[in-house]
Amino acid sequence: MDLTLSESELAFQAEAREWLAANVPAEPLPSMDTEAGWAAHQEWEARLAEARWSVVSWPAEYHGRDASLVEWVVFEEEYYRAGAPGRVSQNGIFLLAPIIFDHGTPEQQDRFLPSMATGEKIWAQCWSEPEAGSDLASLRSTARRDEERGGWVLNGQKTWSSRAAFAHWGFGLFRSDPEAQRHAGLTYFLFPLDADGITVRPIAQLDGEAGFAEVFFEDVFVPDADVLGAPGDGWRVAMSTAGNERGLSLRSPGRFCAAADRLVELYRGTAQPPAAAADRVVDAWVKAQAYRLYTWGTVTRLAAGGDMGAAGSVNKVFWSELDIALHETALDLLGPEAEVASTWLDGYTFSLSGPIYAGTNEIQRNIVAERILGLPREVRK
């Protein structure tokens, strides 16, 4: 593991810190799950893109800086340290974009990546179905070939689709070969959410906001140009997306280190903290730093030509459980005031979804047991 930054990396860090200090809004933006908050977050994405901070690791022609993986992690640390807004473009720039770079055609890259980088077009992740959540391969939504029009006709339902209530485009898997076995015969599609035959129904959460939505497909035509990867190869493409969600891209260490630092300050400002609170605060801070060091170890391995592999499942279990513990500790420190402490309370309610999305932690533990520890495979009926 190499934690020594070069002169150019230190200069990159200083530039990022200076820009964020001058541009991060003084007050938190409204929730991105509201119409006003959505617009405000899109404006923030446009400001980031104008200064080429939106997607620092992308090529310059797509609003990036050609930054290295080390510089990307450095930027993420600075971003969260500055208390910058959440990324409404997250599904696109962190989950879908790496797959478009790896599996997309040059035409797809030119068509989708620029508007993704600027926040002009926001993407929804349309994977889960009523009977296909962590067991994604059991999905039932179908894609029927339409040779005459040169494309596919989609039918079915997706649920718990993140950002779909306000998003412009979606991505997801559909079963294009009903005769193939579970993981075979799936195709990865990109589709505009205002296409004929698509109905989006927001799902109201406990706070009344719609961070998710159901998406219904009724004879929705998608041209061949909007198929990502080869027809029938969707599972392999999708697992690339899952790796990004479980590993480095979705939950960078800066997020947890910044939250752990705020937790320490909260503890120091609490007149009469609960018993054992100090141990819990220290535990959260140490684990955040451990996750940071683990990430730097992964960066070093990837920079040397290695890959993420099943280690993404270890990441996912660790950060999702850390997130809950950290926020629970904060709420206990706040006591009755936690009910009106919007930042910590919102963070806590969101953290509860961590062990569920991106593949439940039960699934991730099976992956760790079988693919990393070499334990016998679970008997599947």
Domain boundaries, given as residue ranges, for the chain: 7-88, 123-238, 247-372
Q: What is the mean pLDDT of residues 221-243?
A: 87
Classify 171 in phi/psi space as left (phi over 0), alpha (psi -120 to 50) or beta.
Answer: beta
Q: What is the pLDDT of residue 1?
A: 64
Which of 7-11, 54-58, 294-298, 327-331 has the weakest average pLDDT? 294-298
Catalytic residue among 218, 245, 370, 378: 245
pTM for the full predicted model: 0.86
- Quickly state the pLDDT bin for 61 (edges 50, 70, 90): very high
Tokens in use for 271? 């007149």
* First-last CA distance in the chain: 42
Give the span between the Cα atoms of 126 and 308, in whole angstroms.
24
**Model confidence at 194: pLDDT above 90:** yes
More confident site: 299 or 368: 368
Residue 245 bears catalytic tag: yes
20-34, 176-190, 294-308: least confident range: 294-308
DSSP 139: -
Backbone φ, ψ for residue 194 (5° rounding):
-105, 15
Superfamily grouping for domain 123-238: Butyryl-CoA Dehydrogenase, subunit A, domain 2 (2.40.110.10)
Neighbours of 139 (CB within 10 A): 24
Residue 215 has pLDDT above 50, yes or no: yes
Question: When comparing pLDDT for 22 and 343, which is higher?
Answer: 22
164-173: pLDDT as tens digits? 999 999 999 9
Helices (H), 51-123: 69-81, 90, 97-103, 106-118
Q: In this structure, are residues 326 and 288 in contact, taking their beta carbons and an 8 Å threshold?
A: yes
pLDDT of residue 249 exceeding 70: no
Average pLDDT of the segment spanning 37-53? 97
Amino acid at 81: R
CATH class of 247-372: mainly alpha
Say if residue 140's pLDDT is above 70.
Answer: yes
Residue whose token pair is 């109201």? 204
| pLDDT over 80 at 17, yes or no | yes
Higher pLDDT, 24 or 255: 24
Among 110, 58, 127, 117, residue whose Cα is nearest residue 88: 117
Nearest to 47, CA basis, from 120, 126, 101, 110: 120
The pLDDT of residue 356 is above 90: no
Can you give the pLDDT at residue 380? 66
* Token pair belonging to 16: 């990022």
CB neighbours of residue 380 within 10 Å: 4
Going 302 to 109 to 247 to 243, the CA torsion angle's sign is negative
- What is the SS3 assignment for 293? helix
DSSP letter string, 232-277: TBHHHHHHHHHHHHHSTTTS-HHHHHHHHHHHHHHHHT-SSPPTTH
* For residues 153-172, average pLDDT: 96
Q: So what's the pLDDT on residue 381?
A: 59
Q: Per DSSP, which regions of 73-232 are E strands?
A: 123-125, 142-146, 151-162, 169-175, 186-192, 198-203, 212-223, 227-228
Res. 247: pLDDT tops 60? no
Average pLDDT over residues 337-351: 85
* Residue of 143, 95, 133 lying closest to 116 (CA atoms): 95
